[in-house]
Amino acid sequence: MRILPISILKKCLVTLSVLSFCWSSQAAEIALIIDDMGNTKRDAQAFELPAEVAFSILPMTHLSERFSRRAASQRREVMLHIPMESLGGNQLGPGALTADMSQAMLQQTLKQALATVPDAIGVNNHMGSKLTQLTYPMHATMDFLIQHELFFVDSRTTRYSKAESIARDYGVLSIKRNVFLDHDRRMEQIDAQFQRLIRLSKKYGFAVGIGHPYPQTIEYLKQALVDIESKGVQLSPISDLLRLQDMALNPSKMDPQKAELD
C-alpha cells in the first residue's frame, strides 16, 4: 500500500478542517442574482427584494447607470451582466463580446461596458454558450477582471464552459451558477427550482441561484425569502459565497497559522 507523504496528508487535513468549519458550524447558504437588469423600467420591481440579492445589470442601456447607483444606495452588490456570443446566434445587444475580437478589443469593450455600471464589483455572462467555451477570449476576459479586481460568476449557459477554471488560473475569485430559477415562469416551476437550490446548498454548504426580473419571479421571491431561515438556510451576498469557495480551495487563507502546514 502506498503511503502518502506527510506534507500531502497535512494539506488534506487542513482542507477537511476548513470544509468542516464552513459547512457544519453555520447554516447552509444561498446567494441569489437577478440577471438582465436594466432592460425596462419594469425591472425596478426587483428593488423590493432583500439587499442580499445581487443585481447583474446589462451595460449601455438607458437604465444601466441609474440602476447601478440605486442598487448601491441600498448597499446591494452590483454586477456587470456582460453579453457574450452564443451558439444559437442570439441577438446580443450593446457591449457584447464575440469570438472574432482581438484581446485589445475584448478588453476595450469590457472597459466601456463597465463604465456604464460604475458600482459593479463583479461580472457574469449574459448568454455566452459559445464564447465561454473558447480559451482565448476567456483569457482576455480574466486578464481584464484581475486587473480591475472584479470577481466572476459563471452563468453556466453551457456544460463545456471554461470560464470558471480559467478565472481561477488568473487568480480571479469565481464561482458557478447552480440553478436557474425561472426558465419556466410558472409559479410551481419557480418553486421547484428554488427548493432544488435549497437542497443543493444543504448538500454542498452553499449554492448560487440566478433569476430574472420577471413579475412571477419577483413575486415568488418576495414571499419565499421572508422566512428563509426557517428552511435551515441563510441568504447571503454573492461575495460571501465567493470567499467561502476560495477558502475551501485555498485552506491556508482561512487562518495564517495554517499556512505553516504548507
Rounded CA-CA distance 73/204 in Å is 32
Give a yes or no: residue 14 inside a domain: no
* pLDDT bracket for residue 255 (50, 70, 90): low
Q: Please report whether residue 11 resides in a domain.
A: no
For residue 206, the cross-strand partners are 29
Give the confidence band of 5 by pLDDT, cuts at 50, 70, 90. low
User: What is the pTM for the complete model shown?
Assistant: 0.87
Cα–Cα distance measured from residue 34 to residue 81, given in angstroms and rounded to the nearest whole number: 10
Q: Structural domain of residue 212, as residue ranges?
A: 28-261
pLDDT, position 233: 97
Give the separation between CA 102 and CA 14, rounded to whole angstroms.
42
Number of domains in the chain: 1
pLDDT band at residue 254 under the 50/70/90 scheme = low
In a domain? residue 147: yes
Q: Mind listing the pLDDT tens digit for each residue in 30-87?
A: 999 999 999 999 999 999 999 999 999 999 999 999 999 999 999 999 999 999 999 9
Residue 232 grid cell: 435551515
Q: What are the pLDDT digits (tens) for 111-161?
A: 999 999 999 999 999 999 999 999 999 999 999 999 999 999 999 999 999
Indicate which CATH number applies to the domain containing 129: 3.20.20.370
The arithmetic mean of pLDDT across residues 223-234, rounded, is 96
23 belongs to a structural domain: no
Query: Residue 205 domain-assigned?
Result: yes
Cβ atoms of 116 and 60 within 8 Å: the answer is: yes
